[in-house]
Amino acid sequence: MTPTQLRAYVAVVRLGSVKQAAAELQVSESAVSLHIAQLRKEFGDKLFRRTAVGLAFTPGGLRLASRAAELLGLQDRTMLEVSAAKRGRRLLRVAASSLFAEFAAPGLIELFAKRAADLDVELSVGNPGAFGSLLLTRAADIAIGPQPPVVDTAIACRPVMNYRVVLVVGPEHPLAGMPASPGQLREQTWLLGPSAATELGAVPALLRRLAVLDERQQIFQSHAAALGEAKRGKGVAPALAFTVTPDVRQGHLAQVAGPHATMEAVWHSQVLAVPGSMSAADELSRFSSTPRAIQAMMRGAGVSVGQFRPSVHVTLWS
175 and 252 housed in the same domain: yes
On whether both 137 and 285 belong to a single domain, the answer is yes
Which of these three, 49, 72, 95, is where a domain ends? 72
Q: Are 224 and 270 in contact (CB under 8 A)?
A: no
Q: What CATH number has the domain bearing residue 113? A: 3.40.190.10
Q: List the alpha helices (DSSP H) in the chain.
A: 3-15, 18-25, 29-43, 59-86, 98-103, 105-113, 131-136, 182-186, 202-210, 223-231, 241-250, 280-287, 291-299
Number of domains the chain contains: 3
Determine the pLDDT at residue 86. Answer: 63
139 and 274: one domain? yes
User: Is 170 part of any domain?
Assistant: yes
Are residues 154 and 99 located together in one domain of the fold?
A: yes
**CATH number, domain at 48?**
1.10.10.10
Q: Are residues 180 and 238 in the same domain?
A: yes
Any domain includes 308: no
Which of 318, 303, 212 lies closest to 260 in space, CA to CA? Answer: 212
- Residue at 90 is within a domain: yes
Cα dihedral 278, 281, 286, 287 in deg (nearest 10): 120
pLDDT score at 311: 35
Does residue 121 sit in the same domain as residue 54? no
Mean pLDDT per 10-residue run, the chain (318 residues)? Answer: 88 86 90 92 88 80 83 74 66 91 91 82 88 87 93 91 95 92 94 91 95 92 91 94 93 93 95 80 92 89 40 41
Do 173 and 241 reside in the same domain of the chain?
Answer: yes
Same domain, 121 and 244: no
The tens digit of pLDDT for each residue in 49-63 reads 888 777 788 888 888
pLDDT for 81 = 66
* Structural domain containing residue 196: 162-265
Model-level pTM? Answer: 0.69
